[in-house]
Amino acid sequence: MSLIRGENYNMYNSLFIMKWPELKKQIRLISIEHNHEVFDWFLTNLPTAGIQTHTVVAGYALTSMSLPVKNPFNIKFSDLIKENLVDLKIGRMLLNMTIGNVINYGLKWSVMTEPMFYPTWAEVVKEDIETMKEVGEIVWNNILHEKKIIHVEFSK
C-alpha cells in the first residue's frame, strides 16, 4: 500500500487508532515528516492487537515486544531516519525491530533518559496527547504495582 503524498497531502486523512479496551481509552496517530514507508506498511497490517508493556529503564514509553503483523517488513533499517530518544518529541512512535511476523515498538509519553537512536514513523494527534499521557501513567503504575494484563488494539 502506498499513500499519495503530494503537496496537498493531509496527514489526518490517513491515521490509525490505538485503543486499550480495559481502560476504555483510545488515541489517533498520524504519519510524520519522514519514514512514510513504515507508516504505510503498518497500515497494511491492521487490525492487530497485543499486550501493552512499558519501558522500565530508559524512561517513559509504552511498548509492545511482540505485536503481530501479517506482511513482511522489507525496508532496511539503515535507510530509515532515526531520532534520539532523549530529544524525541512526546507522542512519537518508534520502531525498535521486526522479527518475522512481529514488531517491537515504543511510544514516548514522557521523559526518555537513554540517548539511543530509533526510526520514528508516526505521532499522536495533538488533541489526544493528554489521553496518551493518562494511559502512560496507568500502564506505568500497573507494571509496578497491579500487574494486570492490559491489551492494546490497532485499527484504521
What is the CATH classification number for the domain harbouring 118? 2.40.100.20
Higher per-residue pLDDT: 99 or 9? 99
* Contact residues for 41 (Cβ-Cβ < 8 A; gap 6+): 1, 71, 73, 75
**For residue 125, what is its C-alpha cell?**
494527534
Q: How far apart are CA 132 and CA 43, in angstroms?
A: 20
CB 140 within 8 A of CB 54: yes
Contact between residue 85 and residue 108 where contact means Cβ atoms under 8 Å apart: yes
Residue 86 lies in a domain: yes
Q: What's the pTM value of the predicted model, to 2 decimals?
A: 0.89
Say if 1 falls within a structural domain: no
Q: State the residue range of the domain holding 105.
A: 15-155
pLDDT band at 84, cuts 50/70/90?
Answer: very high
Tell me the percentage of the chain whose pLDDT exceeds 70: 92
In a domain, 44, yes or no: yes
Phi, psi values for residue 20, rounded to 5°: -115, 95
* pLDDT value for 13: 60
Model confidence over 92-128: pLDDT tens digits? 999 987 777 888 999 999 999 999 999 999 999 999 9
Residue 10 in any domain: the answer is no
Would residue 29 count as lying in a domain? yes
Give the single-character DSSP code of 89. P
Residue 2 located in a structural domain: no
From 9-23, 52-66, 84-98, 142-156, the region with the lowest mean pLDDT: 9-23
Torsion of Cα atoms, 123 then 125 then 129 then 130, to 10°: -160
| Confidence (pLDDT) at 100 | 78
Q: Look at the chain and report how many structural domains it folds into.
A: 1
Choice between 80 and 98, residue whose per-residue pLDDT is larger = 80
Q: Is pLDDT of 45 > 90?
A: yes
> Per-residue pLDDT averaged across 28-56, rounded?
95
Residue whose grid cell is 515486544? 65
Q: How far apart are CA 63 and CA 112, in angstroms?
A: 13
